[in-house]
Chain A
Amino acid sequence: MFFRLQLPLILTFIAGMIPIVAFFFTSEATIVKAPTDRLEKWMVIVAGFALLLGVINVIQGNLKKIERRGPGWPYAICLLVGLLVPGIFGILSAFSVGPFQGIGLRADGGYTPFAWVTRFFFEPLQATMFSLLAFYIASAAFRAFRVRNLEATILLVAAVLVMIGRIPVGDAISSAVRPGALASFTEWLMDKPNTAAQRGILIGAALGAASLSLRVILGIERSYLGLEKSE
C-alpha cells in the first residue's frame, strides 16, 4: 500500500511545492530555484521513456489487428510503415550510415532520406488536416449564426460587424458615412465587451486550476493515480 498510495502522494506533494516556493524567490536563491530546473529536466527524461512505451503500444496494437484481420487492418499496415520507415531513417541518420547523412538538407541542397520523407509525406499530410479547418469553420459558423433566439441574433450581428469592420470593403462602406467609424466600433467591440467576457472566464479558470492544483498537492484529488476518494 505504501508504494501504491503513500509514496506517490508524498512525491506529488514535494514536486508540487518546489515550484510554488521557488516562484517567490529571486534567481539568486539558487538553492531554491535549482530543484525546479532539475524537476523540469527529469520530466523530459520520464516523457522520453513514456514515449517508448507509447510506440510499443502502437506496434503491439496494430500487429494484433493485422494478425486477426480486424476491421480496417490494411490501414494498420500503412500506419506501421509510416511509423517504421521514418523511424529507421532517423536512426540510420543518427549514425550516418551510407546515404543517411543527417536529417536536414545535404550540402548540395538535396534532401537526405529523412528530410525527403518529412518534406514530401509528413508536411503535406499535416497541411491537409490543418486546411480542413477552413471548411469546418464555415459549417460551424453557419450553425452558430442561425437566428434562433435573442442571444443568437446578438451574436450574429456582432460577428457580421466585426467581420465587415476588419476588411477593406468595411472601410469603403463606413467612409461614405463617417471614415473609420466601423473599424473603431469593431475595435471597441473586441477590446471592451469581448475582453471583459474573456477575462471573466480566465479568472474563473485560473482559480479553478489553482484549486485543482491544491487538491492534487494535498492528495485530495487522486484520480490521476486511478484512485477515488480522499477519505
Chain B
Amino acid sequence: MSPGAFWLAVVGGMLVTFATRASFFILPQTERLPRLFLRGLRFVPPAVLGALVATMVADPLAESGFRTAWPRLAAVLVAAIFGWRTRNMWGTIGLGMVSLWVLQSVASP
C-alpha cells in the first residue's frame, strides 16, 4: 500500500467511523428507518469478528501447513473454550498467547 493510498484510507476510515457514531446523534427522525436495517445491525459484530478469526487462523494453516501451524489452531480452541466459560477478555487473550508459546516450543524445541 502506497503512502497516498494509506492516508486516503485513514481519512476515509475517519469519516465513515465518525458517520456511524454521529448517525443517530444528528438524525432527527429515527423511526422512519427500515426495520430490517436496524435489526441487522446487531449481527454485524459477530459476523465480521467470526470472519476475521476464521481467516486469521486459516491463513497460516493454508500457508505453512498443518504440521507447522497446528499450535495456532490448538491455542485458539483453548482460548475459545476458556473465553466461552469465563467471558474474561484478557484471560482469554493471555491464555491463548501462553498456550501458543507452550505448544510452539513443544512443536519445535
Do A and B pair up? The answer is no
